């Protein structure tokens, strides 16, 4: 898996679940999980050896990675805020993704609010202790997953300034959430239709095309549809699985679509999509008015309900897996817990 050339070295690293292409060039190390840097849609998750070969070809053709920006702090940070800001600048200099940097910027805002609300403005790094960290990270309004993300990001920014302190905070283990299937589907959809047309279309696409609402549905452009609106084509970068995906569009969804310019988002009517929390906020407001919604039913319940319907009609777990865009049958099986067949395992399923 190693390709040694005059001025660079290529290897494959990482784990089975998260492999990457490792490039050493001019004594600097670069890691690539996809082919964005060389303008290809290849993903390491799909075929890391193919991705490595693509990088090697580009290197032979003369492509070289952009040099990393060296960042040298002017002075040692004294407060937690100084430490977070310094860590953020270092991440910017290293060329981290915009999405990751946005999460780190949000962490800085959250810490400043925490200090203000607890009258601890200007907490010094030396005074930082487990009690303060627990008060910041472990909150009732935050899910275990959110707490884990906050802890991870905080450790990435100031962990080296207070080694071992952030990492020792014990958190409740995050458990997978079971989105309750919807029995009165038509009635609930009619209720949503009268409440908000955009939310209605989002729910239809989540149920009928088995797309994830907050990213795959929200980011849809007309260019993702075929000319006759009968098919949606998503590249690996547009969906969670990292694989190219082709999804048929049922007639009852096509009837709700009014095609516009290919570069426009189907909800905003502009090149830019609606904000990240648009459907989350809209759903929260709808819940307060709904007379049909049951406890445990979420936007993702439409996807779970669609999955159950496919399995009931086809009896094929492999068809369900392809329709959902899952990498493993085990993941697809979790969607069928509403049918009370959770005792099934991958080894129980038909083999090809």
pLDDT at position 98, please?
A: 79
Domain annotation covers residue 46: yes
pLDDT at position 8, please?
A: 84
pLDDT at position 71, please?
A: 54
- Compute and round to an integer the Cα radius of gyration of the chain: 24
pLDDT at position 253, please?
A: 94
pLDDT at position 343, please?
A: 46
Q: How far apart are the C-alpha atoms of 237 and 41, rounded to whole Å?
A: 7
Backbone angles phi, psi at 326, to 5 degrees: -85, 150
- 260 and 318 within one domain: yes
- 51 and 85 within one domain: no
Q: How far apart are the C-alpha atoms of 8 and 204, rounded to whole Å?
A: 50
CATH classification of the domain holding 248: 1.10.443.10
Domain annotation covers residue 237: yes
pLDDT at position 328, please?
A: 63
Domain annotation covers residue 179: no
**Secondary structure of the chain: what % helix, strand, coil (to 5)?**
50, 10, 40
- 264 and 116 within one domain: no
Domain annotation covers residue 154: yes
Instruction: Flag residues of the chain having pLDDT under 70.
Output: 1-6, 15-17, 68-75, 173-178, 236-237, 239-243, 326-352
- 254 and 329 within one domain: yes
Domain region containing 159: 80-168
- DSSP lists the bridge partners of residue 29 as 24
pLDDT at position 285, please?
A: 95
pLDDT at position 329, please?
A: 66
Give the end of a domain, one of 168, 203, 236.
Answer: 168
pLDDT at position 145, please?
A: 84
Give the tens place of pLDDT for each residue, 38-59: 988 888 888 888 999 999 999 9
- 304 and 163 within one domain: no
- 299 and 219 within one domain: yes
- 120 and 35 within one domain: no
Give the end of a domain, one of 60, 88, 104.
Answer: 60
Q: How far apart are the C-alpha atoms of 160 and 166, rounded to whole Å?
A: 10
Domain annotation covers residue 254: yes
Are the CB atoms for 33 and 40 separated by under 8 Å? no
Determine the straight-line distance between the first and last CA of the chain, rounded to whole angstroms: 30
> In terms of Cα–Cα distance, which of 347, 337, 150 is closest to 158?
150
Are the CB atoms for 317 and 329 separated by under 8 Å? yes
- 135 and 243 within one domain: no
Q: How far apart are the C-alpha atoms of 250 and 208, rounded to whole Å?
A: 7
Domain annotation covers residue 72: no
Structure tokens at 229: 């609106």
- 18 and 56 within one domain: yes
Q: pTM to 2 decimals?
A: 0.54
- 232 and 303 within one domain: yes
> What region does 119 belong to: left with phi over 0, alpha with psi -120 to 50, or beta?
left
Domain annotation covers residue 65: no
Q: How far apart are the C-alpha atoms of 197 and 324, rounded to whole Å?
A: 25
Check residue 138 and report its DSSP letter.
-
Give the tens place of pLDDT for each residue, 293-303: 998 899 999 98
Q: How far apart are the C-alpha atoms of 86 and 161, rounded to whole Å?
A: 11
Structure tokens at 174: 């995050």
pLDDT at position 266, please?
A: 95
pLDDT at position 73, please?
A: 55
- 112 and 158 within one domain: yes
Structural domain total, the chain: 3
pLDDT at position 130, please?
A: 93
Q: How far apart are the C-alpha atoms of 343 and 215, rounded to whole Å?
A: 31
Q: How far apart are the C-alpha atoms of 319 and 324, rounded to whole Å?
A: 9
Check residue 8 and report its DSSP letter.
E
Domain annotation covers residue 147: yes
């Amino acid at each position: 898996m190693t390709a040694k050339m005059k001025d660079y070295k290529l290897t494959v690293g990482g784990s089975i679940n998260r492999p990457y292409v490792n490039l050493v060039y001019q004594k600097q190390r670069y890691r690539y999980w996809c082919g964005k840097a060389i303008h290809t849609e290849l993903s390491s998750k799909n075929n890391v050896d193919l991705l490595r070969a693509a990088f090697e070809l580009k290197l032979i053709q003369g492509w070289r990675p952009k040099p990393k920006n060296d960042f040298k702090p002017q002075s040692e940070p004294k407060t937690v805020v100084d430490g977070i800001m310094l860590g953020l600048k270092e991440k910017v200099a290293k060329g981290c993704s915009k999405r990751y940097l946005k999460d780190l910027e949000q962490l800085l805002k959250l810490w400043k609010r925490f200090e203000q609300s607890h009258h601890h403005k200007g907490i010094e790094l030396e005074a930082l202790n487990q009690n303060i960290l627990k008060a910041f990270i472990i909150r009732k309004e935050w899910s275990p997953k959110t707490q884990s993300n906050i802890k991870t990001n905080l450790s990435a920014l100031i962990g080296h300034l207070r080694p071992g302190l952030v990492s020792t905070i014990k958190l409740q283990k995050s458990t997978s959430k079971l989105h309750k299937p919807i029995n009165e589907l038509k009635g609930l959809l009619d209720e949503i239709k009268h409440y908000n047309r955009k939310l209605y279309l989002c729910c239809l696409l989540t149920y009928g095309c088995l797309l994830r609402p907050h990213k795959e549905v929200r980011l849809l452009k007309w260019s993702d549809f075929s000319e006759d609106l009968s098919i949606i084509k998503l590249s690996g970068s547009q969906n969670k699985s990292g694989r190219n995906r082709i999804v048929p569009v049922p007639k009852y969804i096509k009837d709700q679509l009014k095609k516009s310019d290919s570069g426009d988002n189907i909800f905003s009517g502009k090149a830019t999509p609606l904000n990240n929390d648009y459907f989350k906020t809209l759903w929260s407001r709808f819940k307060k008015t709904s007379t049909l919604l049951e406890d445990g039913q979420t936007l993702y319940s439409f996807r779970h309900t669609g999955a159950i319907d496919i399995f009931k009609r086809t009896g094929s777990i492999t068809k369900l897996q392809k329709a959902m865009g899952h990498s493993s049958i085990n993941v697809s099986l979790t969607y069928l817990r509403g049918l009370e067949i959770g005792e099934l395992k991958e080894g129980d399923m038909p083999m090809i």
